[in-house]
Amino acid sequence: MFLTVLLFSCISQAPTPATYPESLTEEEISIFTKTAMESIVQEVPWTEFKTYLGEESVVTPKELHPTFYGCFDWHSAVHNHWMLVRILKTHPGFEGEQVVRDFLHKQFSKENLRTEAAYFENLKHSDFEEPYGWAWVLLLALELRTWENDVDAKIWAAHLHPLEKQIVNLFSGFVPLIPAPERHGMHENTAFAFSLAWDYAHALHLTNLEKSISKRAQDFFLKDVNYPSLYEPSGKDFLSPGFAEADLMRRVLSQNDFQSWLTSFFPNLENGRLGNMLTPTLQSGAMQGAYMHHIGLNFSRSWAMEGIVLALPNEDSRIDILLNAASLHREAAMDFVTTGVYDGDHWLPTFAVYLLTSRGLE
């Protein structure tokens, strides 16, 4: 139960910097920051998600996205920047801190971030990175704006603001429009994006956006019962649709309501039965591409389980089962967090830091 105590303690005391637990080792900080800074400026290979509108679209990723042109794709570039900020914020004084700050000063230049924002002004680009990349932009903005007493963070937040504003507008339009949630475990997953955006709206008091997400979450998910846990995971999942949904619902429901919703949703959880979802997914195949997704799945399952635990009352018998499984998933995932293979290294450390620094629990 130590972990539970730790989780609750970080909730009650966050976000004052002094209270963040030392959740990363010096070695992890060194590897993760180094990997991120290398990936962020690595221009190729890069996956294009953009729509070519004509000859004018034939430009290099760096011309189009002067900040987020690396890391294989735009959303990974965004969340690697988030990761660097998160490490700076939660582990002040680590060796190499100034190098990271200098790096971010360059990356978060006012001009470059204006160009990133301007990309979304063209309506034909307005579904670019919807909703996954958007959610990570909001988390990055949240991290910067809730960082008290840091001069750099204030500057970076101000520079990010035009992009943040674009994304808030797009997200606010997107939430009421979607007819049904996307339930697969990849980028388009609705519950995951909603969770990140809800955290952003909640912490920064964007009441309309928060209410809108809460309402849609309930429209979509409140009546779900007997989740088909035997049908997880899919071959390319890096999110568990079932856990992502539960991790969203704990945000939007009262403790009582969540407790009973969870009982209907995962009726056999108290007996330790949840299909394949309590056992880490291990990969025997080659360490590349889609296979890396299952390593990310182990990370994201782990943080979702911790999130669910956070929302349950102390005496709830499901807590031990979930924490045990969360810990197994964390260990399985950490074995492969960096492998020297770019397919994984360009994004998995971010997932590790989201989990290890308990980002979702604030």
Partner 1 sequence: MTAMSQSPSLEDEQVVSFARLALDSIVREFPNKPGQVYTGPESAVVPREIHPVFYGSFDWHSSVHGHWMLVRLLKTQPNSSIEAEIRTLLHTQLNADALLVEAAYFDEKQNKGFERMYGWAWLLQLAHELHTFEDDDAKIWAAHLKPLEDQVVALLLGYLPRLSHPIRTGVHPDTAFAFGMELDYARAVGNKELEQALVAKVLSFYQDDVNYPVQYEPSGEDFFSAGLNEADLMRRVLTQQEYVAWLDAFFPGLADGAMGRVLTPTQVSDVTDGRLVHLAGLNLSRGWTLEGIVSALPDGDQRKDVLQAAAIAHRKVGLEYVFSGHFEGEHWLASFAIYLVTQAGITQG
Question: Quick check: 92 binds partner 1 (CB under 8 A)?
Answer: no
340 touching partner 1, by CB under 8 A: no
Q: Is 215 in the site for partner 1 (CB under 8 A)?
A: no
Place of tokens 């846990």: 229
Q: Which is nearer to partner 1, 93 or 179 (CB)?
A: 179
Coil, helix or strand at residue 274:
strand
Q: Which part of the chain contacts partner 1 (CB under 8 A), choosing from 99-107, 161-169, 219-227, 265-273?
A: 219-227
Is residue 177 near partner 1 by the rule CB under 8 A?
A: yes
Contacts of 178 (CB under 8 A, 6+ apart): 190, 216
Q: Does 51 bind partner 1 (CB under 8 A)?
A: yes
**Close Cβ partners of 358 (under 8 Å, ≥ 6 residues apart):** 7, 10, 23, 303, 306
CA gap 293, 24 in Å, rounded: 22
Nearest approach, Cβ of residue 122 and partner 1 (Å): 11
Torsion angles phi and psi, residue 287, rounded to 5: -85, 80
Q: For the beta carbon of residue 176, count every other beta carbon within 10 angstroms.
A: 11
Single-letter amino acid code for the residue at 56: E
Q: What span, in angstroms and rounded, lies between the C-alpha atoms of 295 and 343?
A: 11
Whether 281 and 233 have beta carbons less than 8 Å apart is answered as yes
DSSP tag of 276: B
| Residue range at the interface with partner 1 (CB under 8 A); choices 12-20, 226-234, 259-267, 309-317 | 226-234
Tokens of 230: 């035997």
Residue 349 C-beta: closest distance to partner 1, Å: 21
Contacts of the segment 47-53: beta carbons below 8 A, 24+ positions apart = 47/72, 47/73, 49/73, 49/74, 49/128, 49/129, 50/125, 50/128, 51/124, 51/125, 51/128, 53/122, 53/124
Q: Compose the 9-48 pattern: x for residues touching partner 1 by CB under 8 A, - for all others.
A: ----------------------------------xxxxxx
- Residues 5, 11, 26, 53: which binds partner 1 (CB under 8 A)? 53
**How crowded is residue 128: how many other Cβ atoms within 10 Å of its Cβ?**
17
- The stretch near partner 1 (CB under 8 A) out of 109-117, 229-237, 302-310, 323-331 is 229-237
Nearest distance, CB of residue 240 and partner 1, angstroms: 13
Distance CA 127, CA 27 (A): 38
- In the complex, the smallest distance separating the C-beta of residue 18 from partner 1, rounded to whole angstroms, is 43
CA distance 208 to 221: 20
* List 52, 149, 256, 340, residue binding partner 1 (CB under 8 A): 52
- Is there binding between residue 285 and partner 1 (CB under 8 A)? yes
Identify any residues that bridge with 276 across adjacent strands, giving them in sequence order. Answer: 274
| Span from 30-38, 153-161, 283-291, 315-323 in contact with partner 1 (CB under 8 A) | 283-291
Rounded least distance, CB 137 to partner 1, Å: 19
**In this complex, which beta carbon is closest to partner 1, that of residue 72 or of residue 351?**
72
Of 55, 4, 109, 2, whose CA–CA distance to 361 is shortest? 4
**Which one of the spans 110-118, 138-146, 233-241, 254-262 is the region binding partner 1 (CB under 8 A)?**
233-241
Query: Interface with partner 1 by CB under 8 A: which range of 78-86, 114-122, 230-238, 252-260?
Result: 230-238
**Contacts with partner 1: how many residues (CB under 8 A)?**
48
Give min distance, CB of 341 to partner 1, in A. Answer: 13
**Residues in contact with partner 1 by the rule CB under 8 A:** 43-55, 57-61, 124, 127, 177-184, 186, 188, 190, 224, 226-228, 231, 233-236, 283-286, 289-291, 294
